Structure 1
Amino acid sequence: LGSLEIPLESVESMLWLGRRRSRFCPSCLAENGGRWMLAWRMRWSFACLRHNCLLADSCPACRSPQRAVPASVALIPVPGLCAHKLIGCHGRGVTRCGTELAVAPSLPLAHDHPILTTQQMINAAVFTGIARTGIYGRAPAPLSALIADLCALGGRIMRYPNLDELRQLTSEAVVAEFLAARKEAMFGNRGVTADSSAVASGIATAAAGSILGAANTAEAAGRMRWLIAFNRHNGRSVSATNIGWGRGISAALRSVQLSALSSYLSVSDQLRYRTHSTTPRRPHPRSAAERARWLPSLLWPAVCLNVRCDGVGFGQVRSALAVAVVLVGSRITLSAAAELLGAATNARAVSRVLQRVGLSDSARGVWRTVEELADQLDADRSPIDYARRRTLSCGDLLPESVWIEICLSSGISPGRALRLALARCWLYERITGFPGSQARWAVDSPEFRSKLADLPELLNSEFISAADCYAGHFLAEQAIVGEPVAWAPAMLPECGAPVAVGGPVRSHRAEVNLSRVLRESSLAAGSVPPATSSGVCAARRILPRESLEVLYVEQRKSLAHIGSRYGLSRQMVTQLAHSYGIAIRASGRPHLD
């Protein structure tokens, strides 16, 4: 076995290292004159790859196991014959059974039978000391981990056998042999143990091997779900805390178990165990606080753009998904996670939104995006310390004189006091990542929140540049230097488009409208424009020439109808048509002959 090192926690599962008795292949004994193979003494040797059959467990005459005790020094053994004492005989010079073991019955198997495939996998791992196939392809595991995994899965499968599934995995003949052996009480109902027969070990390892031999975690989890469902159907507890089923199992198997259990977990637990990632794992106790420090209370709009959640506002989605990012891989509660982000929302509201998102068809993609974003922030934190931003004193943010100056320089009407309050709330959210609707200037009314959501539609790139310039000075006065005013990940998971922060920001309604367009049209996710792009250049990404020609020229839709569908104004669609060289129809109803 080479220089194999066995972890102490795996010793209890390493039953294959020794065996009080030995199985044998009758065909091999017939061919080699009765010579005994060393491999037959391994506990997890249950099939002969040379003759494609199960090994025999005992003498066909006296039904005694072979090589169970050392032979007497006074006995000259005869190769190929049973050396067990006859029943009722005592002493050294007693008569031995002497039955020819080559005539023992053995169950033949097809050359590609799962039992033989699993025996090949075990033999290869024993030869090299490492398991490299199946779920171990990306992260090879030592032989001890493979055996521990086989023990964990095989023991659970044989402890609570689902005969219908086992028939599909092996064959009717193998299961019939297993039932006959169990009826004869050759082994107990304790799973794969020292007293198990070759057919029991073969079935257990074949069923376990079908899971371990999968190409990836997701495929292996799909093959394991029948086992979890059968256990739960029969009233046996299967949860993320007790699903190990054995000591010393590999990280790869634990990932498969957690992924297979995903549908039985709450959304928050799915995020804690990362069940939608390629490597689900147990939560880490100290990952939440550090990640929350670099995370805004409202998740970046572009991340939430494609989230489908009927009956929930866009701001609620952003705040709930920000809490979800904190939950990923941590043991923190919903309440504590919301508190880390400044209590912009509460546990009840977050739970409601996560449940609503979980009911949508795109839920799996949303959770995968959240988990990838958490990993991205852990690997490369954001340049903004949002925990510090949330504690800023913003009482004197955007004085009226500065507001008027910015409006005059950007050609925007300053309006009345209400518009200044809206602008302060908007800039407060932009600087701190905290909801502007909860700023000190906000009015707790649906009308104010609606106007705040619509405000970015009135802003242009000149206003954004001037506001960011003022915000930079404001942050410097608060001893915050070396940080951008606003920021978003350079490459957002599932979005594919880089996000800049220099142009006008889309309103919440505009973002929701664009999300609706993406769902209803055939645009690919990669054609989504950056959330801060503007003008005809951005409109081209939303509405390509081919789509505009089909809608306007062939289907004769109006410019206003097309603009409403794609979240653009009628004037922008007109400019886009001119840029594409598409002639604009004369106004008025079309003439009918």
Structure 2
Amino acid sequence: MQPNASPTSRPDRHRPAAPPLRGMAGGYDISRWPITVSPLSDELPVSWLWRVANRYGMTSAATLAALGLPQVNASVPRLETYLRRHADALTAALGTQPYAADEALSRHEALEVELERYAVDYRIGRLPAATIRFCPQCLADSGGAWLRSWRRRTPASCPTHGVQLLVRCPECGAVPFSRSIWMTAATPAWICPQLAVQQPPSRRRRNRCGYDLRQAPTSPLGALEADTLDRLSTSAEAAAAHSLEPVDVAGFGVTARDRLDAIFELIDEDLDLTQVLAPDATGRDRLLSSARLAFEVLDQPTAHAAADIADRHGLLDPNCRHTPIVTDARARRRPHNPLLAAIRLRSLEDVLSPTAQLTFRLASSMPRYPEPIPRCRAEEIRSWPGQVPLEAIPQVLWPGTLTPWIEDNDIPARSAAAMLLAKIGSTRAWSLIALDLGLPAAFATTPSALVTRMRRDGTWRALLRALEDLATNLADSPPPIDYSARRWAAAPALIEKAVQSIKTDAAPRIMVDRDRLAGLLWQTYTGGDARYHPDYGTDAPLEAWNASRTHDAQVAELVERAGEELHRLAGHPDYGPLEWRPP
């Protein structure tokens, strides 16, 4: 006999739906934990988690498991990221979360943030992780709350009690929160959860330290150390505000961020930031001593006085990587602080070579290094910042630009001046400058001869300032002509086609030699001189131009018409006029 089927398995029998949960009149949520532990001001999220677990008599790991969150055993930064990701679940279960809506940076956190930013910008390497320090009296007053301002790389003090923040447990010597073993401790947050120094022979059981950190001995912070820490924090707070208001330091106007970076650079040169930011007392004393030295250098009224203090203590070494005196591509490999560069360069302006004076722009109000190499492919870089682009410089400098020092009829001197202009703020070699300007390779020695002559005459300083002013004006108002593109585009075959295409019947009284007209077109179109072109080079004056001074306007009209045709044939390398001169 077949047994009867189960009533619940019969498809023809209707199953009543389960009754919905009924909400209580008082609005009581049975999924909410009954005790709310609110985070204190400036408290670390891991500290709040520890206090919540201790209030319920559990470990931090067991608390996360009871909340339905997957168990995590990670470092403090990763655990804080984990808690932030589950902030909604924590709020629903505990009535609060360890993160405020707007977490403004305190002056102590600003120093840490700016220090990390400096390490990235100046490529000094990875800094050691921040250490969570503590003040025993604050632990006692707050019921075991660990503050965010205690997580520091730099030395710190308690602003409430005026004592040095401790780094290690006096009993076991361990750094708090350095290991995740604290998550398995069911003790108050002021009890050291680390393993004791002496352990039993058996591996089944491990003794914890259990030291009451509220009873740890402290020492007051000296007035000199307190002043140094306060100045560091104040400088970092000003830098974090991103203010562009200039700050006067050693006679130069710089931003607050450049001033803070100069402090870090001096500390890094004196010690080594990647090595000295250790959580022991020796590193703290060395760091504060180096910081006081940095403030002493930057507190001087002039660059020469600041350089004297730096030289006395072995800082701003010209052979060091922070302020090197090199004029080749090595100057671009690492970013350099503009304030320290100006101090070092200004103090050496009387002994540097003319090439260095051009490269470091010593005629400007603030000398500087060439800009560092950007992190991109070389083919994506059209011109280096901080220097005059080669496309803005003609082969022969415009007439009248440097008339007090160079005559307009001195074509070699004007070409050498164009090379000097291209050298301002640049690490280009003289041979490369001559090559790009279309000058002969042997012309690379001409600028040195010009500088030697002017140094002998005592006019080099004036010419250097004039070149600096010209470079500044060209940066503010670039010429509408791309001279570099025109030099490449003005091939002799295209120039010949352009000259052959125009009709000279409009000027019957002028005997025009088309070969000479081609040379005149080339030097007008490119801003050069025909004597430096292998096809048009001659020592004699151009006949087409000097045939009759009364017909200059008619010759110019022919060149203008040929230039329009050359524009079309060359594919329009630029849309500027045929000729241009600086205003």
TM-score, normalised via structure 2 length: 0.49
Q: Which has the larger radius of gyration?
A: 2
TM-score, normalised via structure 1 length: 0.48
Q: Higher helix proportion, which one?
A: 1
